[in-house]
Amino acid sequence: MAALKKNAEAYPREIGDLEKQLAAARAAVDAERTKHDELDKQRSTLEQTIAEDKDKVRKWEARLTEQRSTREYSALAREIDIAKKQQTTMAEEVVELGKQITLQRELVRQKEADFQLRTKDLVDRVEVLKGRLAEVEAQVKTVEGTRTAASKGVDGDLLRRYDSIRRKRLPALVPVISPGTCTGCRMNLRPQMYNTLVASKSVDACPSCSRMIYAAEVLDSN
């Protein structure tokens, strides 16, 4: 179980990283589309302003003939001239915005196409990882079932002792090989302790790492 869980630890992290990449790619497309919409909004605002100014100028031009003094006529004519020049400037800005919108629209199209390709790749990779994770989780569940069944035949005190050690270090139970080396920490036991393990065919605790130990040759002889 420990080995399976350790191998599966990277999957959720990798899936999270891929999903972040997917979100970042989506955000990049949305940012370009927002730029396009802002440019289009600017153009619409200018076009609306031009239309309103033209209507205002038409009204002013109709009032020219109503002016009784040369001074009033000249002042109104000057306002009309200024307004028309402003309209010309705004019209040029509208044309320039149109060019920018066309370029931005093409950029959005390219970004969207790139996003679709990248999305397929990222989604496929996420699905593969999720599949592997599901397989590992199923394997862990199977092993847990096997362990639960096997633990029913183990002495309760011994099992509690094993579980206590297992929560701190793995593996919790390791063999001692001749001439008395703990395979968990590679430390050598006292000869008397090793001989006792062999003679009693029991388990003990390693003085160095506290793991449960048994003599490997006992099992080999059986």
Give yes or no: residues 109 and 139 share one domain: yes
Verify that 164 and 146 share a domain, yes or no.
no
On whether both 198 and 119 belong to a single domain, the answer is: no
Residues 6+ apart with CB under 8 A from 175: 183, 213, 214, 215, 216, 219
Among the candidates 100, 127, 151, a domain finishes at 151
Q: Which domain holds residue 22?
A: 2-151
Residues 53 and 128 in one domain: yes
pLDDT tens digits along 155-200? 888 899 998 998 888 889 999 998 899 999 999 999 999 999 999 8
What's the order of all strands across the beta sheet hosting 181-182?
A: 181-182, 173-177, 212-215, 204-205
Same-domain check for residues 144 and 160: no
Q: Are 189 and 144 found together in one domain?
A: no
Looking at the fold, whether 136 and 215 belong to one and the same domain comes out as no
What is the domain count for the chain?
2
Same domain, 20 and 104: yes
| Boundary of a domain, candidates 136, 151, 166 | 151
> What CATH number did the domain enclosing 51 receive?
1.10.287.1490
Confidence of residue 206 (pLDDT cuts 50, 70, 90): very high
**For the residues 122-128, what does the mean pLDDT come to?**
87
Same structural domain for residues 80 and 135? Answer: yes
Residue 222 has pLDDT above 70, yes or no: no
Task: Tell how strand 212-215 and strand 173-177 pair up.
Answer: parallel
What helix, strand, coil percent values describe the chain, rounded to 5?
Answer: 75, 5, 15
Do 188 and 129 have their domain in common?
A: no
**Do 18 and 31 fall within a single domain?**
yes
Query: Same domain, yes or no, for 44 and 142?
Result: yes
CA distance readout (Å), 214 to 159, 181, 187: 15, 11, 14
Q: Which residue has the higher pLDDT, 66 or 192?
A: 192
115, 130, 151: which is the final residue of a domain?
A: 151
Residue 220 is predicted with a pLDDT of 64
- Residue 221, pLDDT above cutoff 70: no
